Amino acid sequence: IAGFSFQDNICVGDCITFTDTTVGEPIEWIWDFGPQINPITSNDQNPENVCFNTAGVYSIQLTVKNGNDVYSSTNNTITVHESPTVTAQFDTIIDLGGYADLVAISPNDVIYNWEPSLNVDCDTCSGTQVQAQETTAYVVTATSSNECFATDTILVRVNFIEGLGVPTAFSPNGDGTNDEFFVKGFGIQTMVFSVYNRYGEKVFETTDQSIGWDGTFRNKE
């Protein structure tokens, strides 16, 4: 009794494997995929890399033969979905610390996803911004409701400009603005930031740029 299984969610451009599930002891397999599929036919038991380049519904036939020259055939239909299209705009150059626009355009109803997502304002939006720290290729994937997808890439080149500084004042009054004393700058890999009082006594030190001094020493302002 002829039978076979296959991946049931196919998009244009996909290549899949058909798996023989025939009951009995066949010695010959005759596959007929149709003129629009590559390959058109096969005599393998489990044909691989059968490719679908056009959307539509196709009838796949498997005929098997046993050692007594008894034949059995079966047909299954397979639906190939149209893949979406997406265009990413545009390659750009920014200075370190600046922002680049990431824009994706698709005529289809799709879900967007940007990778890598680090420092991307909205990694699921068609249009967003990124504060790139180094030259990076950002890939957008547009996925349709039938799980077919397309990708495109934007290259953001970053001009590295060494920059380092600290503010001349801060206001640790708990209002949420300038409450801590931070090292400012981009591209810093390692640092030691120390604060001393007028007597030469160290009141604060950190090696982490994200940690600032809150204006206290030994739990006193």
Which pLDDT score is estimated for 188?
82
The residue type of 6 is: F
Of 9 and 1, the one with more pLDDT: 1
Q: Give the span between the Cα atoms of 217 and 213, in whole angstroms.
A: 9
- pLDDT tens-digit series, residues 188-216: 889 999 999 999 999 999 999 999 999 99
149 φ/ψ angles, rounded to the nearest 5 degrees? -145, 165
| Tokens describing residue 219 | 């739990």
- pLDDT tens-digit series, residues 66-111: 999 999 999 999 999 999 999 999 999 998 888 999 999 999 999 9
179, 170 contact by CB (below 8 A): yes
- pLDDT tens-digit series, residues 127-168: 999 998 889 999 999 999 999 999 999 999 998 766 678 888
